[in-house]
């Protein structure tokens, strides 16, 4: 970053929020990417475009008291970061994970502004969560916690104000409990949350959307350089919602998925993973991925990170969590033949890892663009709820394909316009920033 205005803004942020490492990382990556746009628009400095875009409209943080199965009172901290509502109601998931803090919430909400803009749908950027660890908790404990979380959160959300959904640790079960509690307190329509169970007003295809959308984005990356998914070896990390449905769609389209993981370790199956077994372990029984090797004697299990192992493959799809790939692990991927990286998770590749991908001319699809299918179908769920309609699985999937194709095109076109040689990360940032900056100017000083 050499532009003086940008440097001043970033320096101030890094002094004020020196402990918010993930937030600063996301902002720095973004500013580096949009530098050519700022150079073209010196008037943005007087309009304080960057100061405004990096300051959340508001951050809500709150106490979440609940009672565990032993009758003991537990307390967690909940958050909702309402970052930017220029494009519509704040939209973004709720994460339940012990690592949740203000920095992680702010980075996710910041990314969401641009991701949501790329979908072309009328949704602003937000994110929320709590430092609650669902691992090992009973169904009753999860419900107690979730109801207490919603009892406070419901004061700040609404179908036209802020529409949360799921993220790590929050799936249809948790959204169902949240929606039940919201209705009990407000007696309002379903549009207040997305990712709801289908009978409670959820959309067909939302559960699958992030993983499927990731593969539709990957297909565009492949087609652009005259390649296909057929026969390609695909490494996937994570084994949650995004990883599972990415694996399913990749296999359907001829890819060979050779790995999955969780926070304890990773499985590797040379000839491809059997997804029915994974479904039984991870989705039906909420178990650990290690159990897979009991059912598949050809598979191996490694403790620790998937990315620490030498696995020959063509495509890597990180679908677990932020900063899961560091510089050294990125170099290992390059050395093992990976040519395409598309991110299902949010910011899974550390900044230095992305540098390695770029230096080695890998095709790199950033999470902000590649994983936008989930929030896009959430916005379609909002549309269906407000029209009191239900679209079929096929209708939703068709719309998702069109949206992912369009997001890829926006990233590619912006990369071409600035002569960036297939830099889809910079392209996605530039395309969405240009659109948001225009909107900021139209809206006056807000
Ligand atoms: N659910 C959605 O619609 C969307 C999710 N994402 C992102 O995708 C990623 C995964 O989310 P979901 O699949 O929804 O969550 P999930 O809770 O269903 O699954 C998370 C997976 O990541 C693994 N994991 C968590 N921490 C880990 C660590 N430190 N090391 C290795 N594995 C770890 C977990 O074991 C689990 O397999 C997150 O970054 C999330 O923000 C992005 C867009 C939408
Ligand atoms: O569907 C949504 O609103 C949440 C999606 C989300 O959290 C994400 O895109 O990271």
* Cβ atoms < 10 Å from Cβ of 197: 15
Rounded to whole angstroms, how far apart are CA atoms 301 and 293?
A: 7
> What 3 state SS string does the chain have?
CCCHHHHHHHHHHHHHCCCCHHHHHHHHHHHHHHHHHHHHCCHHHHCCHHHHHCCCCEEEEEEEEEECCCCCEEEEEEEEEEEECCCCCEEEEEEECCCCCHHHHHHHHHHHHHHHHHCCCCCEEEEEEECCCCCCCCHHHHHHHHHHHHHHHCCCCECCCEEEEEECCECHHHHHHHHHHHHHHHCCCHHHCCCCCHHHCCCCCHHHHHHHHHHHHHHHHHHHCCCCCCCCEEEECCCCHHHHHHHHHHHHCCCEEEEEECCCEEEECCCCCCHHHHHHHHHHCCCCHHHHHHHCCCCEEEECCHHHCCCCCCEEECCCCCCCECHHHHHHHHHCCCCEEECCCCCCECHHHHHHHHHCCCEEECHHHHCCHHHHHHHHHHHHHHHCCCCCHHHHHHHHHHHHHHHHHHHHHHHHHCCCCCCHHHHHHHHHHHHHHHHHHHHCCC
Per the document, the length of the chain is 446
Output Rg (C-alpha) for the chain, integer angstroms: 21
Q: Where are the chain's structural domains?
A: 4-53, 58-189, 208-365
From 12, 40, 72, 127, the catalytic residue: 127
How many angstroms from the chain centroid is the CA of residue 208? 13
Confirm or reject: Cβ of 168 under 6 Å from ligand 1.
yes
Give the ligand whose atoms come closest to the C-alpha of residue 109. 2
How does pLDDT run along the chain (446 residues), one tens digit per residue?
Answer: 889 999 999 999 999 999 999 999 999 999 999 999 999 999 999 999 999 999 999 999 999 999 999 999 999 999 999 999 999 999 999 999 999 999 999 999 999 999 999 999 999 999 999 999 999 999 999 999 999 999 999 999 999 999 999 999 999 999 999 999 999 999 777 889 999 999 999 999 999 999 999 999 999 999 999 999 999 999 999 999 999 999 999 999 999 999 999 999 999 999 999 999 999 999 999 999 999 999 999 999 999 999 999 999 999 999 999 999 999 999 999 999 999 999 999 999 999 999 999 999 999 999 999 999 999 999 999 999 999 999 999 999 999 999 999 999 999 999 999 999 999 999 999 999 999 999 999 999 99
Rounded to whole angstroms, how far apart are CA atoms 420 and 405?
A: 20
Nearest CA to ligand 2 atom 9: 375
Fold of 58-189: Rossmann fold (3.40.50)
Confirm or reject: Cβ of 116 under 6 Å from ligand 1.
no
The position carrying tokens 């950033």 is 366
* Cβ atoms < 10 Å from Cβ of 43: 9
Could you tell me if 38 and 64 are in contact, meaning their C-beta atoms sit under 8 angstroms apart? no
Out of 94, 126, 165, 241, mutate this one to test ligand 2's pocket (max ligand atoms within 8 Å of CB): namely: 165
115 Cα nearest atom in ligand 2? 9
Q: Which of 220, 265, 198 is nearest to 238 (CA)?
A: 265
Give the ligand whose atoms come closest to the C-alpha of residue 81. 2
pLDDT of residue 187: 77
Strand order in 233-236's β-sheet?
Answer: 300-303, 265-268, 256-261, 233-236, 315-317, 340-342, 363-365
Give the ligand whose atoms come closest to the C-alpha of residue 260. 1
pLDDT of residue 190: 80
Q: Please state the residue numbers annotated as binding site.
A: 91, 112, 115, 166, 210, 241, 378
How many angstroms from the chain centroid is the CA of residue 284? 23
Confirm or reject: Cβ of 169 under 6 Å from ligand 1.
yes
Q: Please state the residue numbers annotated as binding site for NAD(+).
A: 210, 241
| Ligand 2 first shell, C-beta below 6 A | 91-93, 115, 165, 167, 194-195, 346, 374-375, 378
User: From residue 418, how far is each of 40, 114, 224, 424, 432 by CA, in Å?
Assistant: 11, 18, 18, 11, 14
Confirm or reject: Cβ of 263 under 6 Å from ligand 1.
yes
Give 150 Cα–ligand 1 centroid separation in angstroms.
21
Nearest CA to ligand 1 atom 9: 345
Q: Please state the residue numbers annotated as binding site for substrate.
A: 91, 112, 115, 166, 378
Nearest CA to ligand 1 atom 36: 240
Give 373 Cα–ligand 2 centroid separation in angstroms.
9
Q: Please state the pTM of the whole predicted model.
A: 0.98
Give 166 Cα–ligand 2 centroid separation in angstroms.
7
Q: Based on the residue annotation, tell me whether 290 is a catalytic residue of this protein.
A: no
CATH class given for the domain over 208-365: alpha beta
Could you tell me if 178 and 64 are in contact, meaning their C-beta atoms sit under 8 angstroms apart? no
Beta bridge partners of 94: 128, 166
User: From residue 364, how far is each of 28, 204, 307, 344 by CA, in Å?
Assistant: 18, 29, 16, 12
């Amino acid at each position: 970053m050499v532009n003086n205005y940008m440097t001043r803004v970033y320096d101030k942020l890094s002094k004020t929020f020196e402990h918010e490492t993930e937030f600063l990382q996301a902002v720095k990556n973004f500013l580096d990417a949009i530098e050519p746009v700022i150079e073209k628009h010196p008037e943005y400095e007087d309009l304080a475009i960057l100061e405004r875009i990096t300051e959340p409209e508001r951050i809500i943080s709150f106490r979440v008291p609940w009672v565990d199965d032993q009758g003991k009172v537990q307390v967690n901290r909940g958050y909702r970061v309402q970052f930017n509502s220029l494009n519509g109601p704040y939209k973004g998931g709720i994460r339940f994970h012990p690592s949740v803090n203000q920095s992680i919430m702010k980075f996710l909400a910041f990314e969401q502004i641009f991701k949501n803009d790329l979908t072309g749908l009328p949704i602003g950027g937000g994110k929320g969560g709590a430092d609650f660890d669902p691992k090992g908790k009973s169904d009753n404990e999860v419900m107690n916690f979730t109801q207490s979380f919603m009892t406070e959160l419901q004061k700040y959300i609404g179908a036209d104000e802020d529409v949360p959904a799921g993220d790590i640790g929050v799936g249809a079960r948790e959204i169902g409990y949240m929606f039940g509690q919201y209705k009990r307190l407000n007696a309002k329509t379903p549009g207040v949350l997305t990712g709801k169970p289908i009978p409670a007003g959820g959309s067909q295809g939302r559960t699958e959307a992030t993983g499927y959308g990731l593969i539709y984005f990957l297909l565009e990356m492949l087609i652009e350089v005259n390649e296909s998914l057929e026969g390609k070896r695909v490494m996937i990390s994570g084994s949650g919602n995004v990883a599972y449905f990415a694996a399913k769609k990749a296999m359907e389209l001829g890819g060979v998925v050779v790995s999955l993981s969780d926070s304890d370790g990773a499985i590797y199956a040379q000839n491809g993973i059997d997804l029915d077994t994974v479904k039984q372990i991870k989705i039906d029984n909420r178990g650990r991925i290690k159990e897979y090797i009991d059912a598949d004697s050809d598979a191996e299990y490694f403790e620790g990170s998937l990315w620490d192992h030498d696995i020959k493959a063509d495509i890597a799809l990180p679908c677990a969590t932020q900063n899961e790939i560091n510089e050294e692990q990125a170099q290992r991927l390059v050395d093992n033949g990976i040519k395409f990286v598309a991110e299902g998770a949010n910011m899974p590749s550390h900044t230095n890892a992305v540098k390695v991908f770029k230096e080695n001319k890998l095709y790199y699809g950033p999470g902000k663009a590649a994983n936008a299918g989930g929030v896009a179908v959430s916005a379609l769920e909002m549309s269906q709820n407000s029209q009191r309609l239900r679209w079929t699985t096929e209708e939703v999937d068709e719309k998702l394909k069109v949206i992912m194709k369009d997001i890829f095109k926006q990233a590619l076109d912006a990369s071409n316009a600035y002569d960036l040689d297939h830099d889809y990360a910079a392209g996605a940032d530039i395309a969405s920033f240009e659109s948001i900056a225009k909107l900021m100017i139209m809206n006056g000083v807000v």
